[in-house]
Amino acid sequence: MFSRIRYIFFLIPTLCLTNHASPAQENTLTLERCIQLALENNLDAQQGHIRTEVGRINLRQSKQNLLPNLIGSLNHNFEIGRAIDPETNQYLNNVTNRYGNQSLSSSVVLFDGLRMFRTITQQAYAYRATQFEEQNIKEQLALGVTSAYIQALTARDMVAQADSQAAVTHQHVQRNTLLHEQGAIAPGDFYDLKGQYANDLNNVNQARNDFQEALVSLFRLLNLPYDASVQLAPLPELPLKNAPAVTGEQLFQHAVDRLSLIKAVDNRQQQARLGLKVARSYYFPSLSAGAGLSSSYIHGNGGYIDQIQDRIGKNLGFTLAIPIFNKWQARNNVSLAKLDVLDAENIARTSRNELQQTTNQALFNLEAARERYKNLVEQTENYAESFRIAEVRFNAGAINSVDFLIAKNKMDNANANLLIARYQWHLQQRIVDYYNGEMVLSQED
């Protein structure tokens, strides 16, 4: 019996804990607190923030590339034996000479085919894309924690239900033990009950193990050490919604407007287009200006400061670099940039199609989960009444253990399915809320 329950249970894509935890308890986590802890500690969220900082620094550097550079140099030389006199440029024999020079130079790019300006715009789009990608990681993480939390609540309630099922069977085993000793019950019925009780105990053990696994998975998302003593606050009995229903097209449009996924791919698309313009700018010549100061000294020709002042040289120059042939590098880079644009356009189009499909599927799943729950409520009530009748007839000896256990297993399965369906409804409603932009993150950017 319980193998069927476990199969249904693991259809739920989820994880976190208990309906009996009191929010007032010191070691109690709410769903909102779990999301906040995940945003603070999860590795993916932390790496997303690092990538955003890298994008910010790259943008800053692209702007600072417009500034002129300034380079200073200082050197000192020792020569022994045959050497060249730095003043006369004549060879000298058997000398010991010390001399040096120093310089200060600066250069600035005047024109480079608008490469640096386009690079600034490209890096701006890249930075915005990383910001939206970081936000998308947080949104996906919040949805994942919500799913994990609900699965753990499901697992927690399955433990309670398995305990209840075992307790009912145990009561019948105790009652019929005396009847068995007195010969007032068929031995087959008695051993059927004992076998069912052993199976129920195994189900309890498996349910507890499933719950611990769910709790471990939740802590893995939170990136925190596992704590078996933690209590989780329950969710409302049913995910009642007062907001008006939305169509698939409306939900898709809300997701496009409010979520970060599409905004990220759109900025990546703009980044690729600017990358193509940057690549084409290498076809143009570049013009730069440079200026500098230099001086030198020779040991023994006077004071160091005096020589520096007397030998100061100044220079100003312009450099025009014209690309004539660079082994087709510029053309190949343009071709690669065109492929990047095509790839970004394909990703953007596919992301929109997938989001449109997913939002419509989310509405289908929500409606199916709601209807399944309503149908299971009626089924559970019917099977509960059927079991009550079977229990009375079994205790009166009117039916055997097979009929009794069939009725009990039907009721147990119905209760398990109803429990799962309630949390599945919760999950599907929160998925729709996510695409509707209603999932508020607990941590500011």
Write out pLDDT tens, residues 370-421.
Answer: 999 999 999 999 999 999 999 999 988 899 999 999 999 999 999 999 999 9
**End-to-end alpha-carbon separation of the chain, Å?**
48
What pLDDT is stored for residue 26 in this prediction?
A: 52
Using DSSP, state whether 125 is helix, strand or coil.
helix
What pLDDT is stored for residue 307 in this prediction?
A: 84
What pLDDT is stored for residue 78 in this prediction?
A: 79
Distance CA 211, CA 205 (A): 10
Band (17; pLDDT cuts 50, 70, 90):
very low
Write out pLDDT tens, residues 244-297.
Answer: 678 999 999 999 999 999 999 999 999 999 999 999 999 999 999 999 999 988
pLDDT at 83 over 90: no
Using DSSP, state whether 15 is helix, strand or coil.
coil
pLDDT at 444 over 90: no
Angle in degrees, CA 389, 391, 396, rounded to 5: 100
The tokens for 137 are: 């990681």
Give 203's contacts (C-beta < 8 A, 6+ positions apart).
1, 2, 5, 162, 165, 166
Strand partners, 91: 84
Q: How much is the pTM?
A: 0.83
Q: What is the chain's mean pLDDT, rounded? A: 87
The residue whose two tokens read 């010390």 is 98
Strand partners, 77: 99
Judge contact between 360 and 366, C-beta under 8 A. no
Average pLDDT of the segment spanning 70-83: 82
Give φ, ψ of 28 to 5 degrees: -105, 135
What pLDDT is stored for residue 24 in this prediction?
A: 36
Distance CA 286, CA 266 (A): 32
pLDDT at 225 over 70: yes
Average pLDDT of the segment spanning 130-145: 95
Band (224; pLDDT cuts 50, 70, 90):
very high
Element at 369 (helix H, strand E): helix 329-395
Looking at residue 91, the DSSP 8-state letter turns out to be E
- Sign of the C-alpha dihedral computed for residues 20, 24, 29 and 33 taken in this order: positive
Question: Higher-confidence residue: 47 or 243?
Answer: 47
Distance CA 78, CA 357 (A): 76
What pLDDT is stored for residue 345 in this prediction?
A: 96
What pLDDT is stored for residue 437 in this prediction?
A: 81
Distance CA 440, CA 322 (A): 55
What pLDDT is stored for residue 18 in this prediction?
A: 36
What pLDDT is stored for residue 445 in this prediction?
A: 38
The tokens for 306 are: 């005096």
Domains within the chain, CATH numbers bracketed:
2-79+113-287+328-435 (1.20.1600.10)
Average pLDDT of the segment spanning 185-192: 88
What pLDDT is stored for residue 196 in this prediction?
A: 92
Write out pLDDT tens, residues 147-158.
Answer: 999 999 999 999
Give 157's contacts (C-beta < 8 A, 6+ positions apart).
18, 19, 419, 423
- Sign of the C-alpha dihedral computed for residues 203, 148, 22 and 230 taken in this order: positive
Write out pLDDT tens, residues 299-357.
Answer: 777 888 888 888 899 999 999 999 999 899 999 999 999 999 999 999 999 999 999 99
Percent of residues, the chain, with pLDDT higher than 70: 88
Band (93; pLDDT cuts 50, 70, 90):
low
Distance CA 441, CA 119 (A): 33
CA dist 178 → 172, 190, 317, 332 (Å): 11, 10, 111, 91
Give φ, ψ of 414 to 5 degrees: -65, -40
Burial tier of 222 (Cβ tally within 10 Å: 0-12, 13-18, 19+): buried
